[in-house]
Chains A and B, each alone.
Chain A
């Protein structure tokens, strides 16, 4: 049944793309510059990670990739075409799991999932939401209100909500926060499966250990800019510390 659901695609006429490209993208809000001259590329089957402290611009970057924000400078291309060209159907191929859980606390888990399934124009809404609950390990809690869920449980439902319409581009803002060991490894496995399935995945995280397992490449953001960050070498944490050191003391790096 799962494969049957996977096979049927329902967002009408959604054009698919192979690469997401940022070309010199900047974003500012009044005087505050959230992102400055960021260029990057990511293709199918890749997990691109974004590291950086609070306020570094990671969430802004994801929001831009999700077409929730328009760049103040530069442009973003999905398979060579801009968001404006592709219109609202492009959003059917993008899934964003933000900081905020974005679920209705007054509705049950199942009701939330069914609402979003219908919103995305998916068929077999009931089956899909049951499937999603199963993935989240919350089949028994499907008829409980989200308001009564713990942060971790809400996170799991929110993740499933993001994956309901099988988006090509998956944007996850700190998806491991609030997950326990078991849920974390389940998510890692899920990401591996999605990677094999050919999705493009952007991910932000603070957790280096998990990041090591999951990321193909990593980028470091600080005050809206991408810092030079080596893709090879020792652990992620070591490379991160290296990069931050050379940033804070330019010219004294060995």
Chain B
């Protein structure tokens, strides 16, 4: 058990170290997220103000798009020098590799969100930080759910053809509950009279989703990765 987490953290540290050398993924993902936000802004603004509830939608769609990009690029890197295979060759529990990669990508997306979320609050004058703890929980659990499924699918598709287009095709339908919960939860947070019960319900659902899908991913990682 200890070894499981040791391996997972080892892989996460390695991924972060590789990333900090070039910052390629962080910068490109961040820029892409910001561009998406701008595109949505032009799409959803009426009379100089964003359409009601658009802010929550813009935030979560930007996360979804940026997340897909980051996932695709991470595994493309693995594929390029076949290093994923060298991880699979090692005498480690395969699910530990999954957890390691998951934590690495989650950290990357968290770094992107640290910039993008305040930016959105600024651009749209949206009081996103009125309830910071709740917002943090929504973002954390939502991004985790999205990344959990995305990491599994990304790893799965490493050897497949047409992997670039297949990742979003597979990922988006499955992560619809995450997006719904994220958007609705955030929208409620933005209302002047926030209904705590509803936000709690969404947070609860996200937590449950995360538990179920991380468990499923841990179970299926090994069978799905063996050829």
Q: Which residues of A contact B (CB under 8 A)?
A: 11, 14, 66, 68-70, 88-92, 94, 96, 98-107, 111, 115-116, 118-121, 145
Which one, A99, A105, A119, A145, contacts B90 given CB within 8 A? A119
- Check B81–A104 contact: CB distance below 8 A: yes
14 contacts between A and B (CB under 8 A): A11-B91, A70-B227, A91-B89, A91-B91, A92-B90, A98-B82, A99-B82, A100-B85, A101-B81, A101-B82, A103-B83, A106-B18, A106-B21, A116-B86
Q: Is the CB of B92 within 8 A of A119?
A: yes
- In this complex, what residue of A is CB-closest to B93? A88
A120 to B227, CA, bound (A): 22
Residue B7 CB within 8 A of the other chain: yes
Residues of B within 8 A of A119 (CB): 7, 10-11, 87, 90, 92
Which of chain A's residues have a CB closer than 8 A to the CB of B91? 11, 14, 88-92, 120-121
| Cα of A118 to Cα of B100 in the assembled complex, Å | 14
CA of A90 to CA of B83, assembled, Å: 20
**Cβ-based interface call for B162 (8 A):** no
CB <8 Å contact, B83 and A68? no
16 further A-B pairs in the complex, CB-CB below 8 A; given A91-B91, A94-B89: A11-B91, A66-B89, A70-B227, A88-B91, A88-B92, A96-B89, A98-B82, A100-B81, A104-B18, A104-B83, A111-B17, A115-B10, A115-B14, A118-B10, A119-B11, A121-B91
A104 touches B85 (CB 8 A): no
Q: How far is the CA of A105 from the CA of B85 in the complex (A)?
A: 15
Contact (Cβ within 8 A) B18 A102: no
Complexed CA–CA distance, A11 and B89 (Å): 14
Question: How many Å lie between the Cα of A50 and that of B222 in the bound state?
Answer: 30
B82 touches A100 (CB 8 A): yes
With A88-B94, A100-B81, A119-B10 in contact, is A68–B89 under 8 Å at CB?
yes
Cα–Cα distance between A102 and B82 once the two chains are bound (Å) = 5
* B contacts with A: majority SS: helix
CA distance A101 to B22 in the complex (A): 20
Q: Which residues of B contact A91 (CB under 8 A)?
A: 89-91
> Which 3 A-B pairs give the minimum distances between C-beta atoms?
A92-B91, A100-B82, A102-B86
Q: Closest residue to A154 on the B side, CB-wise? A: B81
Question: When each residue 23-44 of chain B gets 1 if its CB lies under 8 Å from chain A and 0 otherwise, what string results?
Answer: 0000000000000000000000
A68: which of B81, B92, B227 is its contact (CB, 8 Å)? B227
Task: Out of B11, B83, B226, name the residue touching A102 (CB < 8 Å).
Answer: B83
Contacts of A96 in B (CB 8 A): 89
Of A68, A104, A106, A145, which one neighbours B88 at CB under 8 angstroms?
A68
Closest to A64 in B: B227
Chain B residue at smallest Cβ distance from A13: B91
| B3 at interface by CB-CB < 8 Å | yes
Q: Provide the residues of chain A in CB contact with B82, threshold 8 Å.
A: 98-102
Nearest B residue to A101 via CB reads B81
Which residues of the partner chain A approach B90 to less than 8 Å between Cβ atoms? 91-92, 116, 119-120
A26 to B81, CA, bound (A): 27
Contacts of A88 in B (CB 8 A): 91-94
Given that A14-B91, A115-B10 are contacting pairs, would A69 and B83 also be in contact in the complex, using a CB cutoff of 8 Å? Answer: no
Best-surrounded residue of B11, B22, B227 (most CB of chain A within 10 A): B227
